[in-house]
Amino acid sequence: MRKTEKKYAIIAIWLLSFFALAYFDLLPTDINTIKHFFSENQKYALVIFFGFWIIRLLFLIPGTPLMILGGVYFGPIEGAMLSTIGLVMSATLIYFFSSKVSEKKVKNFMDNRHKDLSILIKTYNYKLLGLGMICPIVPADVLCFLSVANGIKYSTYILTIVIANAPLRLLYSYIGVSFTKSTVGLILTFVSIAMIFIVSIKMWNTLKKTNTGLPLK
């Protein structure tokens, strides 16, 4: 199967799964529906929430919606703490999956698909991983995969992800509450996230231009 065909296949599977979940009312579309869904399944709320963190890897879904979801149902503080656990779970799965893949396959993947990331990871290691956790233009899961392939220790890997992502986890968790309680708080939250994104993108592009000589995207 060609690369383009694989991309279309992945997109098709993701869309079919999305519509299937929506059709069977397993995909909440607003805050009240989300709260009702978890209230109806209160005994299994934690299991469902952590299950989403694992399933997201199969469908290439970022963790941001789940962080917001945690804040909506569990509250900003508890939601952020539970999102931290979910993040560690999914990051651990990526770690063990990457460590099982052969070095040759990883090298080919890095050279063919993410040459710029490969160069930066070899130069900055865990520091780049930390920056990638808050930079919106960086494929975070791919960066995690490549960092593991480059030999990062599990303890360093997990601590970097948890610490670097902490501000965004708290802000995303607060968004869910702000939708219904505080317009001003919601605006301030979005402004804070935007500032983090702007600074991280500027830092990322500077590193990329300085160390790889590749054109900025």
Taking each helix axis from N to C terminus, what angle separates 64-74 and 31-40, rounded to the nearest 10 degrees? Answer: 70
Q: Is 64 exposed, middle or buried (0-12, 13-18, 19+ CB in 10 A)?
A: middle
Residues above pLDDT 70, as percent of the chain: 68
pLDDT, average across residues 45-63: 85
**Would you say residue 52 has pLDDT above 60?**
yes
Give 195's pLDDT tier (boundaries 50, 70, 90): confident
Contact 125, 152 (CB under 8 A): yes
SS3 assignment, position 139: coil
Question: Over the stretch 102-117, which tens digit does the pLDDT of each residue have?
Answer: 566 666 766 666 677 7
pLDDT at position 19 is: 55
Q: Which token pair is 19?
A: 């519509």
Least confident residue range of 19-33, 80-94, 116-130, 192-206: 19-33
Least confident residue range of 32-36, 44-48, 62-66, 212-216: 212-216
**Would you say residue 8 has pLDDT above 60?**
no
Contact 131, 164 (CB under 8 A): yes
**Would you say residue 92 has pLDDT above 90?**
yes
For residues 7 and 3, what is the distance between their CA atoms, to the nearest angstrom? 6
pLDDT at position 89 is: 95
pLDDT, average across residues 158-182: 82
> What is the rounded end-to-end Cα distance, in angstroms, of the chain?
27
Q: Which residues contact 54 (CB under 8 A, 6 or more apart)?
A: 89, 90, 93
pLDDT at position 211 is: 67
pLDDT at position 215 is: 40
For residues 194 and 175, what is the distance between their CA atoms, to the nearest angstrom? 13
Contact 36, 72 (CB under 8 A): no
**Would you say residue 217 has pLDDT above 50?**
no
pLDDT at position 147 is: 86
pLDDT, average across residues 184-190: 75
Q: Which residue has the higher pLDDT, 101 or 62?
A: 62
For residues 106 and 108, what is the distance between their CA atoms, to the nearest angstrom? 5
Average pLDDT over the chain reads 77
